[in-house]
Amino acid sequence: MLNKLSKKDSLEAWLDYIEKLHPSEIELTLERVREVKDLANISPDFPIILVGGTNGKGSVCAFIESILHASDLKIGCYTSPHLLRFNERIRINKHEVDDKAIVNALDHIERSRRDIPLTYFEITTLAAVKCMNDEAVDIAILEVGLGGRLDAVNIFSPTISLITTVSLDHQAYLGDSVDKIGFEKSGIFRRNIPAIINHKNPIPSMISAANKINANLSLLGNDYNLVIHDKSLSYTSNDLSYSDLPLPQIKGNHQIINLAGALRCIELLNSTIPISIKAIKKGISDASIRGRFEVLLNNPLVVVDVAHNPESANNLANNFMDAKLDGITTAIFSVFEDKDVLSIIQPFINVIDKWYIAELSSERALSCEGIEEALKSVMPTVTVEKFPTVRHAYKEALKNAHDNDNILMFGSFLVISESIGET
């Protein structure tokens, strides 16, 4: 039996408490979390944007958040997972909420839930929206954690729902086909409410689900588009156009698609929340997010990316090939055992010269032996070195690198957080 905590306890103690409070695998339903939401009297009266999908959710949230912030609105944004600090998940006006506010919210949820079992993510989702309620935000952006239909954020009624690209990931929970996964993610759509599918090749099950409930559907390439020019972007839809938009600071060709979805969301908000072209341009220029083709050093080139499924790995490989220096490339790589490791490493067969691997500090981690076996199954003569931790691997790679070499760290959020720590 765990000891009850109070507001005097640290955020770290609270997070450890709720992680151990209930098993991670309990009945998949929204009824429990809805009941606690009502008991805790969490009834947001501000507009909410729900963002789901497989890849690109965090970037879309960052673009929307930055544009709305540039419009002098008070913005709440909830994303997951975090890289270094839990506080990264809950932001007000682009600033992390402090420990005290989060602890107060967690304490309120704990006192309200009585004996109703909730998961870590369900408790922290309620706490995040409680923080936004307490701060009286003008609008909130909530990123779906897993799937959509049964995700905790889906208990809140959206003003707009947006889904980014959809591909195979978390098949044990969401289904063994893209069509099944697409159906689960389309669960964030609502009747007569704007629903954006920001995907060049939308999944049929998602279009069917939107049409079945008469959602106000927007499709990339059909209802809106974003075109890249030499040094600018232009956005067009059936109703308006934005020209001479700046290129985003968030790197990667796929980020243009993510920005397109964000701009469609901004356009749809414009009828009730006027947003100037000046704010849009400033928001695009100011938008940032850690761990998405993030360059830590230029000589040697050190790039970190949270790519951890086949689609994101393919995007990373393409972008890295455009940016890499002429020297050798060392990968610092690790992954969870439930990931399709062969498909993740496939795009890098002719890109990486040496692989530095280490087991992540998680029960879900794939062992070094498992990673090495996967690498050698597609590259029999591959050079692999094992390290006790990801951070050890990074230090060794830096020590051995010349100015024109490259270090690429990817495979999981934990690869990034364990390698760069608090630096």
pLDDT tens-digit map of 326-379: 999 999 999 999 888 999 999 999 899 999 999 998 888 899 999 999 999 998
Asked if residue 146 has pLDDT above 90, the reply is: no
Residues 106 and 205 in one domain: yes
Of all residues in the chain, what percent carry a pLDDT higher than 70?
A: 95
243: confidence class by pLDDT, cuts 50, 70, 90: very high
Same domain, 246 and 321: no
Mean pLDDT across the chain: 91
Nearby residues of 352 by Cβ (< 8 Å), 6 or more positions away:
329, 330, 331, 408
CA quadruple 360, 366, 369, 374: dihedral positive or negative?
A: negative
End-to-end CA distance of the chain: 37
Beta bridge partners of 90: 78
Residue 423, pLDDT > 60, answer no
* Residue 220 CB neighbours (<10 A): 21
* pTM for this predicted structure: 0.92
Is the pLDDT score of 1 beyond 50? no
pLDDT tens string 273-321: 999 999 999 999 999 999 889 999 999 999 999 988 888 899 999 999 9
Beta bridge mates, 1: none
Q: Strands 75-78, 48-52: parallel, antiparallel or unpaired by DSSP?
A: unpaired
Number of domains into which the chain is organized: 2
Which of 145-149, 228-232, 373-377 is the least confident region? 145-149
Q: Is 95 a residue whose pLDDT tops 90? A: yes
Compute the CA torsion angle 228, 306, 297, 69 (nearest 10 deg).
60
203 shares its domain with 150: yes
d(CA 81, CA 420): 16
Q: Pick the closest to residue 382 from 406, 405, 407, 350 (CA basis).
A: 350
Considering the domain architecture, whether residues 282 and 400 belong to the same structural domain is answered as: no
276 and 307 within one domain: no
Specify the length of the chain in residues: 423
Residue 23 binned pLDDT confidence (cut-offs 50, 70, 90):
low
Helices (DSSP H) in 2-119: which residue ranges?
11-21, 31-39, 57-70, 99-112
Burial 367-401 (b: 16+ CB within 10 A, else e): ebeebbebbeeebeebebebbeebbbbbeebbeeb
134 and 260, same domain (yes or no): yes
pLDDT reading at 174 higher than 70: no
| pLDDT (tens digit per residue) in 115-138 | 899 999 999 999 999 999 999 999
Q: Which amino acid is at 192?
A: N
Coil, helix or strand at residue 303: strand
Same domain? For 45 and 29 the reply is yes
**Rounded distance between C-alpha atoms, residue 180 and residue 408, angstroms:** 33
Q: Is the peptide bond before 81 cis (omega within 30 degrees of 0)?
A: yes
Q: Give pLDDT, residue 353.
A: 96
Check pLDDT > 70 for residue 268.
yes
- CB-CB neighbours of 118 under 10 Å: 22
Q: Is residue 24 over pLDDT 70?
A: no
* Radius of gyration of the chain measured on its C-alpha atoms: 21
Rounded percentage of the chain residues whose pLDDT exceeds 90:
74
Q: Is residue 231 part of a domain?
A: yes
- Is 5 a domain residue? no
Q: Which domain holds residue 93?
A: 11-286
Provide the edge-to-edge strand list for the sheet that holds 233-237: 224-228, 233-237, 241-245
Q: Is there a contact between 352 and 320 (Cβ–Cβ < 8 Å)?
A: no
Select from 264, 286, 308 the last residue of a domain.
286
Kindly state whether residues 317 and 271 are assigned to the same domain.
no
